[in-house]
Each structure stands twice: as structure tokens, then as C-alpha cells.
Chain A
Amino acid sequence: MRKSLLIHYGELSTKGKNRENFVESLAKNIRHALKGRTFSLKRDYDHIRIYGDELEELLPLLLDVSGINRISLAYECGLDMDEMEQTALFAYKESGGTSFKVETSRPNKAFPLQSYEISKTIGGYLLSHAEGSKVDVHSPDVRIRTIVSRKRCDIYAKTFAGAGGYPLGSLGKAMMMLSGGIDSPVAAYLLLRRGIALECVHFAAPPYTSVEAVEKVTDLLKVLNRFEAKIRLHIVPFTALQLKIYEAAGDSYAITIMRRMMTRIAVGLARRQGCLAIATGESIGQVASQTLQSLNVINDVTSFPIIRPLAAYDKTATIEIAKKIGTYDISIRPHEDCCTIFTPRHPVTRPKMDDVLKIEKSFDYQSLVDECIEKAELRLIGGED
């Protein structure tokens, strides 16, 4: 009987061709998450197995790794009914439940007993060897899963939910626009969990924004380092362009034009860095610049994909996630960012494309946009420091 962490891929299993690549990157990410620990890792068609002396300690480190659907604390034994019964009894007792159901799958069709017979035999053994136990096929305390494969049998009673999604990086990379507020780190988290690697862009407009705002973003990314070990942060010097926008657009259109410029810059950086999309924390209707009408006008500057993971999230749901992942307390620090400092009293909620184009024609923004992209400062968040 050998103990292991049995990692189930979940969604990944449905992919045919790319499967090998996915499993490859998942194994790599798992090795990274367990860096510095003693363990060994084995891959087979359905699972990744982790062996080691302190599996219970390794488990929490794996719960944030994207691409893992479930993790089971499994016991391996030989293809022998007596051994299987004893292993099942051990796993069951360890789980601490008082009612159970045995479920069996049998990829190894050469095994003499069929799935149902295996379940029945093991169930009978448990009933007679674990006092006070009963079978409950509808809502058991413990589901004892038995997998009979070609070389071995895996039995487990304890399973933990993983982060889901796909292995980080296996889906490509996106450029995340990070203001420092509550929403954008949550959006970043959702993407990372899905398996999309991120680079981030932050717009700084000193002295209208505080240097502390950049520190805030850095601290947020350090929290997200749990999901992506090294994150590139591009800090765009936005002051000159922002002042020009303010001058050209006036109170009501300043935010709309600003968002269009930010989008252009983010797309420029994304293309340069080999990202396949940009991403934002926008939530439809939340503020004037995030009405559907505004998003329509802002999005018009590019055909590049813009992902908005929070588009349909309520603020309360977003805040809940932010608290869960530990970004909330950092996000509510009071420093100004580009989005809040120029907040006009009456921003337009239904911007008109004609007006926007007229304003943008009135000044040479392209050279300023290019300068922003060129002069963006790169910081690497995470890593060995």
C-alpha cells in the first residue's frame, strides 16, 4: 500500500491533441509550486501522482495551481481483492465517516470481477470490519472510489477541489490593465486560475497620482504571485498624455477618451510582448465609463481581443473574491490612481462616437501614445528577491 496525491485533470481530459502539452505544462507548474520540497512526480494517461513523505503538507500548495480539477489522497495496492479490501478499509477508517458508498471504475477490462461486483465485495468487507457502519448510496458520508487499472488499483476516500481551469501558460498570455482598485486584481485572478499567463500594465501620472499607487499595485501583484510566480509589470508614464486629454476633451468626455488611450497603449504593449489579448476589470454598468455604451465606444479603438472577466459580476461578488484571495485590504488603501484623480463631476454615460472622434482629431495623440509604450518602465514582480 503506497500513499500518493492523485491529481485529476478535469476539463483537460476532454482535449485530444493538445493533451500531451497540457499535461507537460501542468507537471512543470506543479513542480514549481512544490519547489524546495521532497517529492516525486509520475504522469500517466489519466492522472499525475505525487509521492512523498509529507503529502498532507504538499496538498495546500497545490490547491491554487490552475489546471487541477481535484486532488485525492489515494492509496495504491496490487490487483488482488484481499489487498484491495484492506486498503479500502484503511482509507475509510481514516476518513472518519460512518456511512459509505463504494464506487468502482475498471479501465482494466482484464480484471476478473466487474465494477459492480468489486464494489459489492469491498462494501461487504467494510460492513463486517468497520463497526457501526452502514451503506448509504444516496448521500453517504464517504465515497470510496476504486480505480482498477492495468498495473495497480487506486483507492481513495478523501478528495479536495482544485483551482480548475487549464495549466498556467498553456492558453497563452494576456496583458492585464491593473489600476490598483478592487476589481482588476480579481479579474487577474480569474484569468490566472483559468490558466492564462499575465503581464500587467499600470498607468501612473505623477504627481497627480501618488508614488504609493505604484507600490500598491506591486503589493497586489505579490499576492497574485501565488498563482503566477513571476509577473511583468509595465508602468506607463501617463501624465503628459493625460493632461492633453483633459485639455482637449473637457470634463464630460475626459474619461472616455482616457480609456480609449489606455486601451491603445495596452494593445501596443500587448503586441510587443507577444500577448494574445488585453484584459480589464471592467464590470458592465458599474461606473460611467463602464456602461455598455461607453464600452462600445472605448472598444472601438481596436480589433484586438479585450477580455473582461468581471463583465457580469456584481460588486459584492467581486469583493467577496478579493477578500478570499487577499487583495481587498491592499486595494482599499487610499492612494490615487489614474481612474480616480480626474473623476469629473458629470462624466458622460452615453458617449457619442462622433463627439469622441472630433475630440481625438483635435490633438496629436499618436506620438504621445507611442511615447507611453516606449517609455514604459518594466518591473519584474516575484522571483528570487
Chain B
Amino acid sequence: MVYLDNAATSRPREEAIRAYEEVSLEHFGNPSSVHGAGYDAERYLRKARDGVLSSFAVSSTHKCVFTSGASEANNIFITGIAHRFHNRGNRLITSLAEHPSVLRCFLALKEEGYDVVLLPVGEKGAVAPEELAKAMNDKTILVSLMGVNNETGALSDLMGLRDVIRRFPKCFFHSDLTQAVGKLDEPFALLDAFTFSGHKIGSLKGSGALVYRKTIDLPPLLHGGEQEGGVRPGTVDVASAYALSVALALARKEERENGEKAALLRSKLVSYLLSRPDEFVINSPFESSPFLLSFSLLKKKAAVYVEGLSEKGIYVSSVSACSSKRENVSSVVLAMGLSKERAAHAVRVSFAPYNTLEDIDAFIKASDELLKGLINQR
């Protein structure tokens, strides 16, 4: 199996699994309990929380809430800010290329009557600071723009964006860093809030975190308990939180090395795609994350191509789950201003540290065989 869909989810690291196992078996108490087993679990939870904050070097300024993943964390923060600071203004700004857990959140708030602005991203795949500046006003209370786009790898200029936002002191800046954490160094301390998932950085599915300024008082999305500072009720999954902190620390430590390796894999893939201009066109902007690459097929159907690769044991991603009945297109590729055809036949390849050059060779070989065998369907 050659797994090249690591932006969807990745294989957990052994260290994370072992950490999970250890806490689950040895320190299984409820951290809210007022007895020895509870205190013991609480220690691990604190260790996990401190670990996360120090991995980003934000221990003194930010706090961390463990969630089931980035989707939940995004919902908690975006909805929470909108509801709490409604008295300050009602403009909320995001982009059309955001992950659904951000975009849909904004659309739901629009239904509630908020003044929601959805910015286009242009050919660079990210919102330019100048574009953001045009949309900002004194009523703006939240800007949410992702660090790395999950389909194209496009990079946001978080520093530049933050410089725009800081001129509006009532406005908070949130960034979904799911595809950035453990892969790129971002100006974490300058963000009011950021979110990420555990399973994309070698930890387990069902884990993630919201990291935000200590000064912000968020209302909970769900009601039920005082856990996680009252923001997220329910017995805390200590093992999961601990595994997340372990995987995060390792990913942060190996960031540079892994990034260089991914860049190597990606450039090999790019050369291959460029050598077949009759078949492929690259969607990812020139400057983008080394960990993923989006391209479109010019003659074949993406669903068939991906299915064919899958038969050969090579797993990559297409936007549509193999269907001509539902017209699925990549909303991100569309948001870049590219054609609907291109958006419908986009394929994403994404790397993890365990991928090798041999994996790319296997992909290229399988792809060539497929291109020869498949008929043109468009």
C-alpha cells in the first residue's frame, strides 16, 4: 500500500499509540474526580495541556481546550466569539476556500443575521492582506483565515493579515492550522486563536485542540459541565489529549527535516506532472505547502483515475467520491477562479514523513499505466 492521502488522515505514530495505551491502562481516572486516581489523571491532562502550549511557545499568553478535532474547535471558537461579542459589531470575515467546518459555521451565523463577508482567494489560493483590508470595518469582530489550504496547500500570509487586523482592536483573528501544525512554523503567538487535529500529525482520530488567548472568555457550544474551563463539557479523554501532545512535540521537533523531505517528494511529483502537459495541469500555487499538491486531469475523469490507482494499491484523493450522479466539484479550486471542469477533476496527493521517493516512483508508474489504459472520457 502506498498511502498518499495524508491530508485526509495519516498513520498514527507508534509513540502516540503507546502514550495512549499507557494513559488508558495506567491512568484511566476521571480528571474531575476528587481522589487519587482522579488527581493522577489530572496530572496527565495538565502535562498534555502544558505540552501543547509549550510546543507553540505560547504558554504565557494562550490556553488550550482539547476537542474531538479541528472541526469542533472551529465551531466552538467561531460561534462563541460571534455570540459573545455581538454587542461590539456583527461583521465576520472568512474566505471561500476555507474548510467546511469554518465556512459552514459562518454561513450558519449569516442565517442568524450576522454580516458575513466571504472573500475570494484569487490564483494564489489565499486571501491577500490588501483584499482583507478592503473588507475590514469598525464593526468587524472576527476574521478566520486558514494557514495552509487543505486542498491546494496555498499559504496565507498570516503576518501580513495580522498587521491589517491589529488596526481594528475589537477584531479577533482565528486561523485553522490543521494542515500547518507540525509541518510549518507559523506566528502562533500573534494569533488570537488557532485550531488543529491530532490525526493529521500522527496522533489519533477524535482528538484536536483549540488554542486561544487567556483573556478571551468563550461561551460553551454544548452545555453540561465545567470541564475544559467550562468551554467544552464532557469527561475529558485524557489519553487522547496526552497522545496528541506527544505527537505534536515530535512533529514540531522534526518539522524542518520533514519539510525538506516532503519538498523533495513534491518536486519529483511536480516534474512528472509537468512532463505530461497533455494530461495534467497543476492547481497548487507556486508557493505552497510542500506536504500537498493539487492537480487536475485534462482528459480523464478524476474518479476513474483515483479508482484505478486504488486498484493498484495507491491511495490519493479526489473531491468527488466516484459519482456522476452528484456533481461534486472542488469549491477551493473554484474559489481560485479556475474552471468548473478543472474543479470537478481535481486530484490531491499529500505526504507524511513516512512516505519515500519509492512511493512517488510507484505512483508515477501506476499513473503512466493508467493513462495508457484509460480512455478519454471528456
Contact = CB atoms under 8 A, between A and B. Distances in A.
Given A243-B375, A246-B375, A341 B307 contact: no
A96 interface: no
Interface string A352-364: 0000000000000
A335 to B, nearest CB: 6
A383 interface: no
A361 B374 CA distance: 24
Interface string B334-378: 000000000000000000000000000000000000100011010
Nearest to B308: A207
A175 B370 CA distance: 34
B321 to A, nearest CB: 6
Interface in A228-270: 243, 246-247
B324 A206 contact: no
Contacts of A340: 324-325
B282 interface: no
A336 B303 contact: yes
Contacts of B305: 207
Interface in A287-343: 334-336, 340-343
A137 to B, nearest CB: 55
Interface residues of A, number: 17
Nearest to A343: B324
A207 B323 contact: no
B328 to A, nearest CB: 9
Contacts of A243: 375
Chief secondary structure at chain A's binding surface: loop
Contacts of B325: 334, 340
Contact of A207 (B304, B321, B326): B304
Contacts of B308: 206-207
A211 B311 contact: yes
Contacts of B303: 210, 336
A83 interface: no
B116 to A, nearest CB: 30
A123 B356 CA distance: 88
A69 to B, nearest CB: 40
A209 B307 CA distance: 8
Most buried by A among B305, B307, B323: B307
Nearest to A341: B324
Given A207-B304, A208-B304, A336 B311 contact: no
A212 interface: yes
Contacts of B164: none
A210 B324 contact: no
Contacts of A212: 322
Interface in A173-224: 206-212
- In this complex, which of B311, B325, B326, B377 has the most chain A Cβ atoms within 10 angstroms of its Cβ? B325
A335 B311 contact: no
Nearest to A207: B308
Contacts of A210: 303, 307, 322
Nearest to B324: A340
Nearest to B323: A334
A122 to B, nearest CB: 60
A246 B377 CA distance: 10
A341 B322 CA distance: 9
A207 B323 CA distance: 13
Contacts of A208: 304, 307
Nearest to A205: B304
A243 B374 CA distance: 9
Nearest to A332: B325
A46 B303 CA distance: 58
Contact of B311 (A207, A341, A343): A207
Contacts of B304: 207-208, 341
Contacts of B326: 334
B318 to A, nearest CB: 11
A320 B321 CA distance: 26
B375 A335 contact: no
Contacts of A343: 324
A242 to B, nearest CB: 10
Contacts of B310: 207, 211
A372 to B, nearest CB: 18
Given A206-B311, A207-B304, A210-B307, A335 B322 contact: yes
Contact of B322 (A247, A336, A342): A336
Nearest to B320: A334
A334 B310 CA distance: 17
A234 B305 CA distance: 26
A342 B305 CA distance: 15
A209 B311 CA distance: 11
Contacts of A247: 375
B314 to A, nearest CB: 12
Q: 8 tightest A-B contacts by CB?
A: A207-B308, A334-B323, A207-B307, A210-B322, A210-B307, A208-B304, A207-B311, A336-B322
Interface of B: 303-305, 307-308, 310-311, 321-326, 370, 374-375, 377
Given A210-B322, A212-B322, 8 more contacts: A207-B308, A208-B307, A247-B375, A334-B325, A334-B326, A335-B322, A336-B303, A336-B324
